[in-house]
Amino acid sequence: MNGLVAGSIYALTALGLTMMFGIMDIINFAHGEFYMLGAFFTYLFCVSLGIPYLGAMVFAFLAVGIIGIVIEKLSFKPIRKTRPLNTLLVSLGLSVFLQNLSLLIWGPDPRKIPSPFADKVIEFWGISITEQRLLVIVVTVILLIVFYYFIQKTTMGKCMRATAQEPEGAALIGIDIDRVFLVTFGAGCALAGAAGSLVGGVFFVTPTMGIAPVLKAFIVVIVGGMGSIPGAIAGGFFLGITEVLVAGFVSSAYMDAMAFGILILVMLFKPSGLFGKAES
Amino acid sequence: MRITSKVTRIGVLISILAAVLVPFVITESYHLHLVNMTYIYIILAVSLNLLIGFIGELSLGHAAFYGIGAYTSALITMDLGISFWISLFIAIAAATLTGFLVGYPALRLKGPFFAITTLAFGEIIRLVINNLEGLTRGPMGLPGIKPPNPITIPGLFTIDFYDRRAFYYLILFFTIISLGVVYRLVFSRVGRAFLAIRENDILAESIGVKTKHYKILAFTVASGMAGLAGALHAHYILFISPVTFDLAQSINVVLMVIIGGSGTILGPILGALLLTLLPEVLRAIAEYRMVIYGAILVFTIVFMPNGIVGTIKGKLGLLPAAEEK
C-alpha cells in the first residue's frame, strides 16, 4: 500500500514533467519546487487562513498553477527560440531561486499540514491504512481521470496534442501556441502542487522537500518514455512499488541508488523509454 | 588572429607573473586561502567548460569526479601510506578512467537526457560515498588527511605544505598546467571539431568529424581535471565529506561557467573568481546568497546567454557571427 502512495505522488509529479517535455520541449528542473510550493500554500491556507484542508488544497492547486504561468511568461518564453541548453539552465536557476527563497521566508523547520484525515485508520480486506494515505490515492486517481478527459475531449486538450506533434504545424492552422504553452506549464505546475499538498498531510513540509521527488519523477518520466502520459503514470506506480519492495527485502540505504541505476540502464539500452515512441 | 595571438601571449605572461607575486601582496592567511580555493574552482570550471562551452553538453555530475579524485587520493595516502606525489596521479587516473567509462555510454545521449544521466551518476557516487561507511566514514567525512609530503633539497631548503604559501604555488602550478591543456586542446584541430559538434553535430558527422570520439575525449579530459582538483582539495583542506561533492556543488560550477561566459577561456576563470569571492564580499547578506545565485542564473541566460566575457567580446565584435545567439 505504501508503494501505491509513493507511486501516486511520483505519477502526479511525473505527469506535469512529461507534459512540459512533450509539448514544450522543456525539462523543468524546478518542478520539485512547485511541488514544495503546493505543500507550503496548503499549509498556509490551512493554518493562517483557517480554510479546511480540502479547500486549502484546491486553492493551493490554483495558486501554484498561476505562479507557474507567470514564470513561464517571464523566463521561458523569451528564450524559447535559443538553444535547448538554455531552458535547462533557466529551470535550474529557478529551482535554486525558489528553494532558497522559501528557505528564507519559511525557515528550515519541518511543518505538518493539520489534515483531519491523518490519524484515522481504516481497515478493509485485512489491510489497514490511514485515511490520509487513502486520500492520496483517491485524489490522484480523480486528478488523472479529469486530466485524461481534459487532454482527450476539450478543445484546449486537442490543441495541446497538436502542438506536441508539431508546434509549427499547429501554429499554421491557427492554434495560439503561446496560450497552449502557458496552459501546459500552468497545469503541469498545478499537478506538482497537488502532489505536494497531498504529501504534506503524510510527511513533513520543508523547503527542500522537492529535491528527492523531482529526481524520482525524472526517473519515472525517462523510464516511462519522455513525453508519454501513460508512461509517466505507469512508471510512477512502478517505481513506487519497486522501491518499497527493494527497501523491504534488500536494503533501504541503496533504495535511491537503485532508482538511479534503473534510470541509467534504461537510458543506455532503451533511451526512448518503455512506453516511448521510437525516435524517427 | 595573428595580432590577437600576440596580445594573448603578452597577457598570459603578465598574468602568470602577477600570479607568482600574489603571496607577497596578499599576506593575510585567510585571503590567501580564498585565492587557493579560487584556483581549485578555476580548474573545475575550466574543465566543465570543455563540455558546456565546447561540445555543448551540460553535465550535472561534475562534482562526482571532483569527489572521486578527492577520496581516491585521500584514501590511498591514509590507508596505504603512499606519497601524495604518487596518489595525485592515481587520483587523476581514477577520475579519468571513470570519466571514460561513464562518458562512453552516456554520450550516446544528448541535451537533457545527457544532463539527467550525469546527474543520476553524480547522485549514485554521492550515495556510494555516503553508504560505504567502512571505507569513507560516510556522512561524517574523512578527517586527518595529510598535506603533500614536504620536498627537501638536502642542505638547501625544505618546502613544507602546511604553509599556505607553499600550497599556493603548488595549486598555481597545476592551474597553469590545466589552463595550458585546455588552451592547446581548444585552439587546435580538436577544438575546431568540438565547436563543429556544438553548432551542429549531425552536420559535423556528415563531413567526417568523428563526433563520438571527440565528445568522449572532452568528457574524459574534463573528468581527469576534476579529479586533479579533487586531490588538491583533499590535501589542502585536510578534511573531506560527501557534502562537498553533491549536486549543489555541480550546479555551483555550472553557474561559474555560465555567468563568466561558456565557450571562452577567460569566462570560467572570471566566473570562478566571482563566485568564490562574492560570498565573502556579500557576507552581510549571506542568507540571500543562493536566492541571488538562482536569480543571476536566470537573468544571465535570458539577457546575456554568452555570459560576461562572451557579451563583452560580442560588443567588441570579437565573436564570430555564428556564436552570437
| Fold (topology level) of B16-323 | ABC transporter involved in vitamin B12 uptake, BtuC (1.10.3470)
The gap between the terminal CA atoms of chain A, to the nearest Å, is 39
CA separation for the pair B138, B161 (Å, rounded): 27
- The pTM (predicted TM-score) of the whole model is 0.79
Contact A243, A255 (CB under 8 A): yes
Contact B193, B60 (CB under 8 A): no
The yes-or-no verdict on residue A72 having pLDDT over 90 is no
Taking an 8 Å cut-off on Cβ atoms, the answer to whether A268 and B290 are in contact is no
CA distance B300 to chain A (A): 9
* pLDDT higher at A19 or B233: B233
Amino acid in position B51: L
CA separation for the pair A221, A215 (Å, rounded): 10
Question: How many C-beta neighbours within 10 Å does residue B220 have?
Answer: 21
Q: Render pLDDT for A107-144 as a digit per residue (tens, 0 to 9).
A: 777 777 776 766 677 767 766 677 777 778 888 888 88
C-alpha cell at B134: 567502512
| Domain ranges across chain B | 16-323
Contact B81, B58 (CB under 8 A): no
Give kind and range of the element (H or E) at residue A121: strand A121-124
Most B CBs within 10 Å: which of A24, A74, A92, as the mutation test of the B interface? Answer: A92
Length of chain A: 280
Strand locations in B156-258, DSSP E?
157-159
Contact B290, A96 (CB under 8 A): yes
| Domain ranges across chain A | 2-210
Residues of B in contact with A21 (CB under 8 A): 112
Residues of B in contact with A93 (CB under 8 A): 293-298, 301
What is residue B184's three-state secondary structure?
Answer: helix
Tens of pLDDT along chain B (325 residues) come to 445 677 777 888 888 888 777 777 777 778 888 888 888 999 999 999 888 888 888 888 899 999 999 999 888 888 887 888 888 899 999 999 999 988 888 888 777 778 888 888 888 888 888 887 777 787 777 777 777 777 767 766 677 777 777 888 888 888 888 888 888 888 888 888 888 888 788 888 888 778 888 888 889 999 999 999 999 898 888 888 888 888 888 888 888 888 888 888 888 888 888 888 887 777 767 677 778 878 888 888 888 777 777 777 777 766 554 444 4
Q: What pLDDT shows up at residue B220?
A: 92
CA separation for the pair B84, B235 (Å, rounded): 8
Give kind and range of the element (H or E) at residue A275: none
CA distance A207 to chain B (A): 13
CA separation for the pair A10, A218 (Å, rounded): 9
Q: What pLDDT shows up at residue B227?
A: 92
